[in-house]
Structure formats: C-alpha cells, structure tokens
Amino acid sequence: MESAFRQLPSVARKLGVTVDQCRYWLSLLGITISHQGRVRIIHEDVVELLGKVAELVKTGTAPRNACMAVKREIGEADILPKDLSVTSAETLDINKQLEGIKKALLLIVEQNKKTQDEVGSLRQENQLLRLQLSPPMEPERKIIPWQLAAPGIDPLAGRSWLKRFWVELTKPERMRRN
C-alpha cells in the first residue's frame, strides 16, 4: 500500500467516529472507496475532508449539511470520484484493451448477422427441396361408418343341448355365426 493511501478503519479511529459513519460521509461527498484485498483505503486528501466533516458534525451540524458545506468550500471539481490507484499508463493500456474488445465484439456481431442470413436462406432452400421430394398428396378417402353385419346362421341350430354344451366346452369357435 502506498503512503498516499490510508486504511479507513485507522482513519475512523483517528477521527473518533465509526467506519460506517465515514462510509456514509464519503457517499454524501460522492467519493468512491478503493479496496486492497479486504481493506478499504482512501487517499490522504480525502482524510482531510473527513476531518472537516467530523469537526462540523461534532459541533452539532447534520452530516448531510456538513458534507454540503465541505463540498461548497472545496468546490465540486476537486471532489469528483477518482480512482487514484491507477496510473495514466495503466489507463491508456486499459483503454487500448477496451477498444480491442469493442472491435472484436463488433466483428462477432457482423459475423453473427451473416450467419443468421445464411441459415435463413438454407432453411428456405431446405423447405423447397422437401416439397419437391415429398410424395404427392393423396385424395381424401371417404370414411364409411361401421354398419352392423347381418346375423349369420347359427351352426348349432337344431342340435341337442348336450351337443351344444359339448361344443361350447371343447370348441367355442364353432359357436360363431360369422
């Protein structure tokens, strides 16, 4: 950690306030908090601003009003959120990488559009080929509803009851009329 940065918990202890109060005041001032690992860090210039806010709050001023007074005193241009941990060379490198990613995404979008157009034309061609290869449509068949057949002659008509019983036990298919 560079000497220009201070840990937020140590700054809060130095000012005699809680870490949550410091975070709230920083959000009111519009300042972003950087993280290094699991520790929140702030720039030394911001520590001075927090000290002024803490003095105003201890005198009885509301935190929102104290932050507004400090903002007016210093000016909006000095308080705008900045990530001071990134150098200008790193920023240029990140900007170049972002431009490269942007170009790659635009290229992917163009290729995707071309692929979608090609797939659409292939689908149309496939549909036309299926129509040509499919068998011709058969005319609709007229459906004839089922009709009860005329009853046939009873094969066991005129036989004795014993013969009927015997045929029923041994060969029931002879009992069919059709």
Q: What is the pLDDT of residues 113-152, one digit of tens each?
A: 999 999 999 999 999 999 888 888 888 888 888 887 777 7
Which is it for the CA torsion 73, 75, 78, 80, positive or negative?
Answer: positive
Query: Residue 174 — very low, low, confident or very high, per pLDDT cuts 50/70/90?
Result: low
Backbone angles phi, psi at 5, to 5 degrees: -115, 150
Residue where the block lists tokens 């790659």 = 104
Question: Are 28 and 37 spatial neighbours (Cβ–Cβ below 8 Å)?
Answer: no
Question: pLDDT by residue (tens digit) across 69-121?
Answer: 888 888 754 544 445 455 667 778 888 899 999 999 999 999 999 999 999 99
Exposure of 41 in the CB half-sphere (CA atoms within 13 A): 18
Comparison of pLDDT for 51 and 168, the residue scoring more: 51
Residues 6+ apart with CB under 8 A from 47: 6, 11
Comparison of pLDDT for 99 and 156, the residue scoring more: 99
Which pair of tokens denotes residue 57? Answer: 């709050």
Which pair of tokens denotes residue 137? Answer: 């449509």
Q: Are strands 34-36 and 5-7 parallel, antiparallel or unpaired?
A: unpaired
Helix, strand, coil proportions of the chain in percent (round to 5)? 60, 5, 30
Phi-psi region for residue 124, left (φ > 0), alpha (ψ -120 to 50) or beta?
alpha
- Give the distance, in angstroms, between the CA of residue 46 and the centroid of all CA atoms in the same chain: 38
Looking at residue 168, its pLDDT comes to 77
Whether the predicted pLDDT of 2 surpasses 60: no
